[in-house]
Amino acid sequence: MARLSLVRDSLQTHSSGNGWSTLRMRRQSYQRLLVIKSYINFFYFWEKRWFFVAMALGVFMLSQPVPEGLSPEGMIVLTMSVVATVLFVTEPIPLPTVALLIIVGQVLLLSIPSTIVARSLMTDSVLFIMGSLMLAVAVVKQKLDKRIAWMIVRVTGTQTSRICFGISVVSGLLASFIGEHTVAAMMLPVGITLITLTSDDPKEVRNLAAVLLFSISYGCSVAGIGTPSGGARNAIMIGYWKEFFYDPSSPETYKYLVDYLKWMAYAYPMFLLQLPIVTVILLFTFKPEYSNLSRAVAKLRMQVQMEGPMKPGDWLSIVFFILILWGWVFMSSDIGMGTVAILGAACFLIAGLVRWEDVNSGVNWGVVLLYAAAISLGVQMKNTGAAEWIAENFLAILTPLGADEGLGLWAAISTLTTVVTNMMSNGAAVAVLGPIVLKVASVAGESPIVIGFITAISSAFAYLTVVGTPACTIVYASGYLKTTDFLKVGWRMAIASIIIMLIAASLYWPILESIF
């Protein structure tokens, strides 16, 4: 502040001068610049630089002439999507703020009445995301993790490789129904307990830690695609199919109403096929220091015995869990997956198995808002024709490469999704890419169902970075893994997964298409 007042004083001294000279004018403007500089926090601008870059990009795009084949509204929606994507990836502002900007943008730039925008925010997919997050907190709070851990080691024995496979299988089976973040949160302490009971020195068990923790995170990640309730992205894709292709008056379009069992028929075998591959890749990459964990397992048994027998509350939560699964499988096509999820959350709250305060602090509500806004923008991309325009141009680029149909197109879409999902959360990746790839499918004459599955499934291939999938982020919070570990094993996983998916897309799914 001392400097500021000094500069101000000197300005005052010079302002009442007599006569005119270039030198004095220069000096005065320099001094004014100094005053302005001291008022502005330049570090703020540097920190938020990507926000300004995104906004400048938006203004630039809107000032350009509208390309041929694109409506002015389409151009605005396209601009909003590009700006939102830059903000999603670079995160200069809190992410829910992007959602708020999307809502405001739709009202101000597209002149859509705010009631209609507000209505487009809440769909069954969003309700499902909200409900399943509440369920996630409720399930984690039930403390069934120790019993699950004990069940695993009782079946697998004490050999490291078998325990890893057991952890992957159980994490995967659970995660395929209740979401990967829930299971990763539950199983993480199991993994860490096995590691710390084996050795206190983290250096001695580095590889063992990597194998056990990646078994949890990749087990959950590959499972997230298994059923519609496995992750937000699945619910979003189901919502898009219905929004884009379903027409109540045309029976031909009924196949675009994908229910729980149909999704499972497509994706579950892929998940099961990936499970053993996860363990093989992990053991091959990290080679754990201990081949037998008998010491740790003995101590774990003691801990579980101290828990005592199952309490009525434990049984009740298992009953609720089974009822919710039953509801998803058999009732979701009538009442919606979201309704089942929030009914389940309500049951846990009514039975007093979880407190609302825990649910409230355990769920990041901004995420619900963000998905809601992203889906609503996706629908606008379809309505204004922006998605179709991008799809046509995307295909025009792929045509010279021979990737405008069949396996080539599938591989291109899978690669595009894998790249995008490694940079942002997988739900956001599907919300942004979904409208485009579905339009690509219609323009190229491909099945939107197959292309939709390829996008939703490829969005789970974010094995390379910590932020790619929720399970990776949660496991990374343990402090045992380095970011380079993800790179070391991730590329192998990504290649294996893409190959399995392309095989399923070309051999298995066509059979299903003829059945459904």
Partner 1 sequence: MIFRHDPEIDPEIEKISEWRRNRFRVLVCIDGSDEAYEGIRYAAELAENDETDIILLYVRPIDQGLRSGGLQVRVVRQNMLDWGLELPGIQYLKRGLEMLIDPESLAEDWTIHSDHADSWGDPLGDNKIEYQNEDGKSIVLKLKTAPEPASGILDQYELGPYNLIIMGAPSHWRAEWNSFWGAGVVQKVAAMSPCSILIARQLPEGESTKKGHLICTDGSAHSMESMCQDAVLAQICGHPITLFCTAHAHSTKDEAENILLEAKGMLAEMGVKVQNTIVRVGNPVSTIVETGRDFDIISVSDSGKNRLKRILVGSTSFSVMGAAETSVLNVH
Q: How far is the CB of 516 from partner 1 (least distance, A)?
A: 29
Q: How many angstroms separate the CA atoms of 156 and 508, rounded?
A: 31
**HSE-CB of 103 using CA atoms within 13 angstroms:** 19
Q: Is 44 exposed, middle or buried (0-12, 13-18, 19+ CB in 10 A)?
A: exposed
Residues within the interface to partner 1 (CB under 8 A)? 43, 46, 49, 90-91, 95, 129, 133, 136-137, 140, 143, 145-146, 179-182, 184-186, 188-189, 192-193, 196, 231-232, 361-364, 366-368, 370, 425, 427-428, 466-467, 469-470, 473-474, 477-480, 484
Q: How far is the CB of 330 from partner 1 (least distance, A)?
A: 26
Q: How far is the CB of 59 from partner 1 (least distance, A)?
A: 20
Residue 157 identity (one-letter amino acid):
G
Q: How many angstroms separate the CA atoms of 248 and 202, rounded?
A: 59
Q: Which is nearer to partner 1, 269 or 366 (CB)?
A: 366
Residue 201 near residue 252, CB atoms below 8 Å? no
Q: How far is the CB of 301 from partner 1 (least distance, A)?
A: 15
Q: How far is the CB of 133 from partner 1 (least distance, A)?
A: 5
Q: How far is the CB of 369 from partner 1 (least distance, A)?
A: 10
Q: How far is the CB of 9 from partner 1 (least distance, A)?
A: 25
Q: Which is nearer to partner 1, 124 or 259 (CB)?
A: 124
Q: Which is nearer to partner 1, 222 or 428 (CB)?
A: 428
Q: Which is nearer to partner 1, 279 or 425 (CB)?
A: 425
CA 324 to chain CA centroid, Å, is 23
Cα–Cα nearest to 454, from 437, 429, 432: 437
Residue 135 near residue 178, CB atoms below 8 Å? yes
Q: How many angstroms separate the CA atoms of 140 and 358, rounded?
A: 11
Q: Which is nearer to partner 1, 130 or 386 (CB)?
A: 130
Q: How far is the CB of 424 from partner 1 (least distance, A)?
A: 8
Q: Which is nearer to partner 1, 245 or 271 (CB)?
A: 271
Q: Which is nearer to partner 1, 370 or 489 (CB)?
A: 370
Question: DSSP assignment of 103-168, as one string?
Answer: HHHHHHTT---HHHHHHHH--HHHHHHHHHHHHHHHHHTT--HHHHHHHHHHHH-SBHHHHHHHHH
Cα–Cα nearest to 194, from 151, 164, 220: 164
Question: DSSP assignment of 379-435, as one string?
Answer: HHHHHTTHHHHHHHHHHHHHGGGT-SSHHHHHHHHHHHHHHHHHHS-HHHHHHHHHH
Q: Which is nearer to partner 1, 448 or 490 (CB)?
A: 490
